[in-house]
Amino acid sequence: ERAALPVTVRALVARASGAGLAGRAGTPAAPGPGEVRVTIRAAGVCHSDLSMVNGTLAPKYPLVLGHEATGVVAETGPGVRLAVGTPVVLNWAPACRACWWCRRGEPWLCADTTSPTVPRGETEDGVPLHLTLGLGALAEAVVVPEKAVIPVPAGLPPERAALLGCAVLTGVGAVHNTAGVAAGESVAVIGLGGVGLAVLTAARRAGATTILAVDVAEAKRDLALAAGATDFLLSDDRLSKEVRARTEGRGVDHAFECVGRAATIRAAWRLTRRGGAVTVVGMGAKDDMVSLGALDIFHSARTLRSSVYGSSDPDREVPALAAELADGALDLRVLVSGTIPLDEAPTAFDRLARGEGARWVVTL
């Protein structure tokens, strides 16, 4: 039974794997208890969104894409403390603060965020809609729990603030929280999209002195150097040799995999020194298996870890990053390759699939 007509908004809806992106989404007529309606100002197109439409991941359809966004609280439900008009960044892993992981200080692994998605809202023709990571942020507006929004200062450039919610928090967190890169260390970053470029920026800020950026696309060279890399290397047969030549024959202290493929996880492994650490930031496919030699695992004494949402507490770290964005300490201009209106958002997916640019951001 529907109490009131839903509010229909323009949104980027994937109907099925490989199908076109278009449409409108019906959102709840009013935010429920503990919920807010956010008017979206800017939303980045992340490779995970592409993975939801090209068959790499198998989400439920129809699906509203998008999970990296900023906007303004437009309406609040009962019991919400945030005021209408508050600028916010969306959080795709809102912590319950009560589960086993939250209580031990690992909110990025909150049990709630791994629970199956329930439909929310519906398409114009009445089919229940799923929202990417509970957000579905490539839309004019979303209705989400209050805990899925993080207040940020007013006046931030929206196309940069949006990236705090995924690429930047993930990249910066991977460097600081997951890997713990220290001044003077050497780093390799494989895959130079929004996430990899954010890792480069963070590695530079952490004081890493050798920062090797690796990609299959030569076109990423200038972006990488602008983001903080000391060197750009093409991902080819000579890669291991080139990395060793720049690390006194040892390999890097830290390798970051920012593609999401078994082949690049293996490449990251090979580029890392004995006793070094591989941090997997990319989200790969379920059946893409990584194979490593048992003797090599023992002998190399390397650590292999993944970094989910930068092993961060977004409620604490997004406001800190937002403050740095506001005062200029964090320069994200190189991460934004351009802005695109919502109706032309499929163009951003094409560019991302071709490996063009850094982040393409939909602005509203």
214 binds ligand APR (CB under 6 A): yes
Smallest gap from Cβ 56 to ligand APR, in A, equals 8
165 binds ligand APR (CB under 6 A): no
Selected range binding ligand APR among 71-79, 87-95, 190-198, 202-210, rule: CB under 6 A:
190-198
Nearest to 67 by CA among 151, 150, 135: 135
CA atoms within 13 A on the CB side of 246: 22
150 binds Zn ion (CB under 5 A): no
178 binds ligand APR (CB under 6 A): no
Nearest to 132 by CA among 65, 53, 68: 65
283 binds ligand APR (CB under 6 A): yes
User: Site size for Zn ion, by CB under 5 A?
Assistant: 3
> Which residue, 179 or 281, is less far from ligand APR as judged by CB?
281
311 binds ligand APR (CB under 6 A): no
Selected range binding Zn ion among 32-40, 45-53, 104-112, 149-157, rule: CB under 5 A:
45-53
Per CB under 6 A, the list member of 66, 134, 136, 260 interacting with ligand APR is: 260
* Beta bridge partners of residue 168, listed in sequence order: none
48 binds Zn ion (CB under 5 A): yes
Taking the C-alpha atoms of residue 333 and residue 159, their distance in angstroms, rounded to an integer, is 9
DSSP 38-55: EEEEEEE--HHHHHHHSS
Provide the 3-class DSSP secondary structure of residue 328. coil
Task: Please name the amino acid found at residue 12.
Answer: L
Output the residue with the shortest Cβ distance to ligand APR: 193
352 binds Zn ion (CB under 5 A): no
Taking the C-alpha atoms of residue 251 and residue 266, their distance in angstroms, rounded to an integer, is 14
Cβ atoms within 10 A of the Cβ of 298, count?
Answer: 8
Smallest gap from Cβ 182 to ligand APR, in A, equals 24
Taking the C-alpha atoms of residue 93 and residue 342, their distance in angstroms, rounded to an integer, is 24
Beta-carbon contacts of residue 218 (< 8 Å; ≥ 6 apart): 234
355 binds ligand APR (CB under 6 A): yes
What is the pairing mode between strands 7-14 and 21-27?
Answer: antiparallel
**Partner whose footprint covers residue 107, from Zn ion, ligand APR, none (CB < 5 to 8 Å by kind):** none
* Beta bridge partners of residue 341, listed in sequence order: 363
46 binds Zn ion (CB under 5 A): yes
166 binds Zn ion (CB under 5 A): yes
Residues of this chain that bind Zn ion (CB under 5 A): 46, 48, 166
Residues of this chain that bind ligand APR (CB under 6 A): 46-48, 51, 190-196, 214-217, 220, 235, 258-260, 263-264, 281-283, 352, 355
